[in-house]
Amino acid sequence: MWLLSPLSWALLATVVGLAAWPMRGRARWLWRGCIAVLLFSLLAMTPLLANALLWYLERMEPLAASATCHADAPDTVVVLAGGIDQRPRDRNDFSVLSAASRRRLDSGVAYWRGGPERTLIITGGPAKPGWPAESVLLSAYAASLGVPASALRLETQATNTWENAQRLTQMQPAIASRVMLATSAAHMTRARLAFRVAGFDACPLPSDYRFTPNDFPQALLPRSSALAKSEMAIHELVGLIFYRLRELRRAASDSD
């Protein structure tokens, strides 16, 4: 979403600042505010701040499953689709899967291999109407990794993490309430919150780590790669706030 991009903030601050320049004496607060937003936006496009945000997000949840999850490992692993990079040619064209989607499935398949009775559930709807569901593309990728169709279950309608959790509660036959949840490390807190609200006990199976150590002084220079990281981190933080508000509203509604 463009509103959550530091680049959008910088462009908006520049336009407003230039418009406010002739009246900077009378609207000094506006002009100075634009300068502050512009400087912060440039900082958000540096590896320094981008990595700081990712470091925080990727460590909000345990990096490994809890002792309970280790002692009594769930037989069901849920993989959340993580997007695609372009339009697929057909339902088997898993080459379009994003790096996040592939890494999430790789970790899910690795966990599935650890138990003979385990089931792999993939959830994710189409990126656009008329396109194959992301879960279908991921199932084709899973098949290429040797996962048989008998071990797979798909949810093909969800368009966001909240829907992922809610729609899984509607699957028939019903799935277990304790699941291993495979998603990106930075996304794990928001995903577990959504699954908790839906009634699941989700053990974390994080992957797709994006934090990298800073290399000074290059870490102080804006980069496109850092901008992409910051946009993802800001999206997660804003989404987490939104999901917590939804959780509070649901709790209030249930108590009435």
Number of domains in the chain: 1
User: What percent of the chain is modeled with pLDDT above 70?
Assistant: 95
Q: Judge whether 10 lies within some domain.
A: no
Residue 256 has pLDDT above 70, yes or no: no
Tokens 């910088």 correspond to what residue?
A: 10
The answer to whether the bond into 116 is cis (omega within 30° of 0) is no
Which of the pair, 124 or 117, is modelled with greater confidence?
124
Residue 60 in this model has a pLDDT that exceeds 90: no
Residue 64, pLDDT above cutoff 50: no
In a domain, 222, yes or no: yes
Q: What is the CATH number of the domain that holds 152?
A: 3.40.50.620
Alpha carbon distance 193, 198 (integer Å): 9
Binned at pLDDT 50, 70 and 90, residue 66 comes out as low
Q: Is residue 6 part of a domain?
A: no
Mean pLDDT calculated for residue range 10-28: 81
Around 69, how many Cα atoms within 13 Å sit in the side-chain half-sphere? 18
Has residue 22 been placed in a domain? Answer: no
What are residue 104's phi and psi, to 5 degrees? -60, -45
In a domain, 200, yes or no: yes
Q: Cα 63 from chain centroid? A: 16
Find the domain containing 83 and state its range.
45-256
